[in-house]
Amino acid sequence: MSQMISGGVCAAQGFRAAGLHVGVKTHATWKKDVALIVSDAPCTAAAMFTKNVVKAAPIHVTMDHLAKGGVRAIIANSGNANACAPHGEENAEKMCAAAAKAIGCASEDVLVASTGVIGQTLNVKVIEDGVPELYGLLEHSDEASDAAAHAIMTTDTVKKEFAIEVFIGGQTVHIGGIAKGSGMIHPNMGTMLCFLTTDCAISQEMLTEALHEVVRMTFNRISVDGDTSTNDTCCILANGLAGNPVIAEKNDRYVDFVMALHEVCYLLARSMAKDGEGAKHLITCTVRGAASEEQAETISKSVISSTLTKAAIFGCDANWGRVLCAMGYSGEKFDPEKVDVSFASEAGEILVCQAGRGLSFDEELAKKILTEDEVDIDITMAEGDESCTCWGCDITYDYIKINGDYRT
């Protein structure tokens, strides 16, 4: 039994949050650019980072602080990625120190993340100067989570914030999160930040395990543009205040926790793909009848990452040949003569390719289906019984516009 609730990162007991404009974003003084999330009690924490060889400074600092255990807070800024930038780690440490001083904890108890332009020196002074005011704004409320969610946005057009309530071991447990991510998103986490909080009592080991399991099936299955960023961070803090028996092994309660965490991350990931830079369509690609989940995932990712397929969906053009083509260059072996492809949306469903060959279909209906905001590409193969779903978006004139001149 679980239900979606409001409150985002403040849904769980003992978590407060705030967001504020301090001046990292110099061109948009009305946009918040620093977020702070604080737990009243020490947390177990787990995190996953970009696989990009070029990692931003805050990732190195966060890795270091995580290794020392006992996390109390996360500080994050938007407007500057603090990646490949002079004094990167020094400035990331300064952000932690400023937050720690306000909270009254050790610098090592604070995690840090940044997102924005790469290669420019972070104006850490404005963050340090702003932290006391930011700290003063901390609240355990819907509004506070909303402010934090806005403070980590870059080219995002909507905030990403979800929370869930679930009964675990007789206690009500909350899991909530905020995320940002719009461009530079690709399987293995593109420029996305995701901060999750829970009052569940769970061991470090099980929390880490749960995060890996869920990220693999959610954030690692979305793609906006095939670019994997330098700054991706997904972390979860668990302060145990729900009072449930501590989850320390893979029992039924662990499964309940993973399912609830999956629900939150699934919604955050999906909303990221839907808000892909310039996107007009959310594309959900499901591959069924694959020999393995890995095969289904590789093929599904290849389809949602295909620039030509993305352009066709933008044009509401049922050009299924590009879907088959993207399956073919995925690197997976399969029999193309046993592939069916359908397009579907709220407007209906239409089979366009059967046994690897084009069908003559109702072009008017196809156009109507693809004109909806959310469209599905459903692929059936005859290799086995496994399946996988990945999420992406179309490529539009606005994507080019947003990214043709992002720095200024």
User: Which parts of this chain interact with a second copy (CB under 8 A)?
Assistant: 51-55, 81, 83-86, 117-121, 183-184, 186, 188, 225-230, 305-308, 311-312, 314-315, 317, 319-322, 324-330, 332-334, 336, 353, 356-358, 395-397, 399-401, 403-408
Judge contact between 350 and 383, C-beta under 8 A: no
Closer to a second copy by Cβ: residue 89 or 209: 89
Judge contact between 25 and 79, C-beta under 8 A: yes
Q: Tell me the three state secondary structure of residue 183.
A: coil
User: For residue 343, which amino acid is it?
Assistant: F
Judge contact between 34 and 172, C-beta under 8 A: no
Please state, in angstroms and rounded to a whole number, the distance separating the CA atoms of residues 18 and 135.
7
Please state, in angstroms and rounded to a whole number, the distance separating the CA atoms of residues 247 and 203.
6
Please state, in angstroms and rounded to a whole number, the distance separating the CA atoms of residues 152 and 180.
6
Closer to a second copy by Cβ: residue 218 or 330: 330
Nearest to 278 by CA among 377, 184, 161: 184
Nearest to 321 by CA among 393, 387, 377: 377
Closer to a second copy by Cβ: residue 205 or 397: 397
DSSP, res 245: P
Q: What is the DSSP string of 69-121?
A: --EEEEEEEEEE---S-TTHHHHHHHHHHHHHHHHTS-GGGEEEEEEEESSS-
User: For residue 125, which amino acid is it?
Assistant: K
Closer to a second copy by Cβ: residue 199 or 297: 297
Its sign, for the CA torsion 214, 160, 171, 13, is positive
Q: How far is the CB of 298 from a second copy (least distance, A)?
A: 12
Closer to a second copy by Cβ: residue 176 or 183: 183
Q: How far is the CB of 101 from a second copy (least distance, A)?
A: 28
Angle between helices 320-328 and 307-314 (to 10 degrees): 160
DSSP, res 170: T
Closer to a second copy by Cβ: residue 16 or 55: 55
Active-site annotation, residues: 191
Judge contact between 38 and 103, C-beta under 8 A: yes
Please state, in angstroms and rounded to a whole number, the distance separating the CA atoms of residues 354 and 377.
14
DSSP, res 152: T
Closer to a second copy by Cβ: residue 222 or 241: 222
Please state, in angstroms and rounded to a whole number, the distance separating the CA atoms of residues 386 and 296.
7
